[in-house]
A = this chain, B = another copy of it.
Amino acid sequence: MTSNRLIYLPLGGAGEIGMNCYVYGYGPEGKERLIVVDLGVTFPEMSGSPGVDLIMADITWLAERADRVEAIFITHAHEDHIGALGLLWPRLKKKVYARRFTATIGRLKLDEAGLPADTITTVEPRPTVIEAGPFKVQFVPVSHSIPESSALIIDTPAGRVFHTADFKIDPDPVVGEPWDDAAIAAIAAERPIKALMCDSTNVFSVHPGRSESSIREPLREFIAGAGGMVVATTFGSNVARLRTLAEAARAADRSICVLGRSMRRMLSASEQAGVMSNFPRTVSPEEALEIPRRNLMLLVTGSQGERRAASAQLSRGKYLGLELKAGDTFLFSSKTIPGNEREVLRIVNALSEMSVDVVDDCGGKYHVSGHANRPDLEHVHRLLLPDMLIPMHGEHRHLREHVKIAHQSGIAAEIATNGMMIDLTGETPQVVEYIETGRVYLDGSALIGAMDGVVRDRIRMALNGHVMVTVILDESDEPLGEAWVELSGLPQVGRGERALIETLEGDLSEFLEGAGAKVLRDDNKLDEALRRVVRQVCVEEIGKKPEVTVVVSRLQAE
């Protein structure tokens, strides 16, 4: 007779693609021992989070229960799974487990944050078992688009959970372990799968996924056929792709120069972790300058149009002395993530102006995805035959579609979005609680809540402009001089070519002259009245209601 339960609580990554953070708990209600799977980030964008550097899950719920947290497991080294490690670890201060390559990247992050890198323990894959309180966890190698991506087997007294993390079915992934149907099926044969937590990214892709190795020949042919310099971009962490590209370059008698810190870092981590040996020799940018263009290929960062990455820099002109010219070829061996189209097209058009030929993934000829497509997901469902399925790693539309697929196969399934605590103990998943969750922004060096109003104020200033009013009152609450106005982000002239500042200062001063003592004496009333004047004038003059900051200074009798 026990009241122990097994719970699942996504704090990030469920209902969005990014900032993955999942919690599992086992024990009596409210006293479950907890483990955390992944601490990832999401990248900000101008329209929703201007000025922000990184976005991560709000782990307040978890931090308040840090004493119940046994350990942190990182499935792989993509930023949306490991990116917040250096930022959020101090709130938990628990042991971190990861495979060698992931651990190498993780230690770099902790180092940079001035945190103890030895908090990360490198673990071997299954059958090695990590015991963390009531949990027994094994890392299961799966194919993805980064070395050593791993699913997790999470054994608990209430049953076995299979957490896929990010994966694809790839029998020949170029770098790393091939997908192994038999090995996956053996996991369910060993102990039935109670719950499958499953990647949902590509649930809308109806064709079976293709192997990383399937683009080797097309890339070879393409690079061999190119005329001038070839520049290829892809995700820096996709070292299999980098290897394919580099080998194709060597086959075409081209030297390889790697531009972009994150890409070089991934390559060196791959070597360090022993996941990739014999990567073709690369040359430095200085050496590259001496090599004829037709014997050179640049491997560059910035496939998503990031402004400061090598691709964007090259599209704007010289970068480390290297420069694109008519007759060169630029290859996007990547897919544009929805939302990044504008930035990527800006690069494409800038390259077009340089008469550089731009080639994109060409409908999959030069790029394959790292996630399992719908038929692959169905295949995994059949291999593992779970009692229940909870989709993760997807927007709501992905989760919902994934649940539909599960139901079609007769598998109990539930949409669980961030903050929904699911009890997995029974026959079917049950939503038992809604945890307050959300997003935290790294903004410069500060961590701010997404709902703190800071970013809201930035967006308002960007949309409406900003008027600052300064008024000085003397000891008897009488205006001293005129109102002073500064504008930021607003047109200088209003209707009839009148200077907006002058109209504002005139109307504000006029208001002050006529204002009664009751208003002049009361900071709030005065502030509100001055704001009203500003808004009225602005609507009249420029058809806009700006943000207004009023500073009333009162001189004290000395």
Q: What is A's interface to B at a CB cutoff of 8 Å?
A: 15, 45-47, 50-51, 338-339, 341-342, 345, 348-350, 352-353, 355, 358, 395-397, 399-400, 443-446, 448, 452, 454-455, 457-459, 461-466, 468, 470, 472, 480-481, 484, 486, 488-495, 538, 541-544, 547, 549, 551, 553, 555-556
The answer to whether A457 and B342 touch (CB under 8 A), given A445-B495, A462-B50, is: no
What CA separation (Å) do A164 and B303 show in the bound complex? 35
Contact of A553 among B397, B399, B443, B470 (CB under 8 A): B470
Q: Chain B's nearest CB lies how many Å from the CB of A12?
A: 16
Query: Which residue of chain B is the closest to A351 with respect to CB atoms?
Result: B397
The answer to whether A458 and B462 touch (CB under 8 A), given A352-B400, A481-B556, A494-B446, is: yes
- A352: B residues at CB distance < 8 A: 395-397, 399-400
Query: Which residue of chain B is the closest to A463 with respect to CB atoms?
Result: B51
Q: Could you pull out 7 A-B pairs where Cβ atoms are within 8 angstroms?
A: A338-B341, A341-B341, A353-B396, A358-B397, A452-B491, A458-B462, A468-B549
- B349 and A396: CB pair below 8 A? yes
Question: Secondary structure at chain A's binding surface: helix, strand, loop or mixed?
Answer: mixed
Query: Which residue of chain B is the closest to A348 with respect to CB atoms?
Result: B397
- A493: B residues at CB distance < 8 A: 446
In the complex, the 6 A-B pairs of residues with the closest C-beta atoms, listed nearest first: A445-B543, A444-B543, A444-B544, A46-B47, A458-B489, A462-B462
The answer to whether A490 and B454 touch (CB under 8 A), given A345-B395, A544-B444, is: yes
- A490: B residues at CB distance < 8 A: 454
- A342 and B396: CB pair below 8 A? no
Contact of A489 among B51, B358, B399, B445 (CB under 8 A): B51
- B486 and A549: CB pair below 8 A? yes
The answer to whether A446 and B543 touch (CB under 8 A), given A396-B353, A488-B549, A551-B486, is: yes
- A547: B residues at CB distance < 8 A: 488
Query: Which residue of chain B is the closest to A342 with respect to CB atoms?
Result: B339
The answer to whether A339 and B341 touch (CB under 8 A), given A51-B465, A445-B542, A491-B446, is: yes
Protomer copies: 2
- A542: B residues at CB distance < 8 A: 443-446
- A470: B residues at CB distance < 8 A: 470, 551, 553
- B458 and A491: CB pair below 8 A? no
Query: Which residue of chain B is the closest to A456 with respect to CB atoms?
Result: B489
- B341 and A454: CB pair below 8 A? no
Q: Chain B's nearest CB lies how many Å from the CB of A139?
A: 32
- B463 and A50: CB pair below 8 A? yes
- A541: B residues at CB distance < 8 A: 446
- A400: B residues at CB distance < 8 A: 352, 355
Q: Chain B's nearest CB lies how many Å from the CB of A42?
A: 13
- A484 and B339: CB pair below 8 A? no
Task: Give 8 A-B pairs besides A46-B47, A445-B543, A446-B494 with Cβ atoms closer than 8 angstroms.
Answer: A46-B462, A46-B463, A51-B465, A339-B342, A457-B488, A481-B555, A484-B551, A553-B553
Q: Chain B's nearest CB lies how many Å from the CB of A285?
A: 27
- A50: B residues at CB distance < 8 A: 46, 459, 462-463
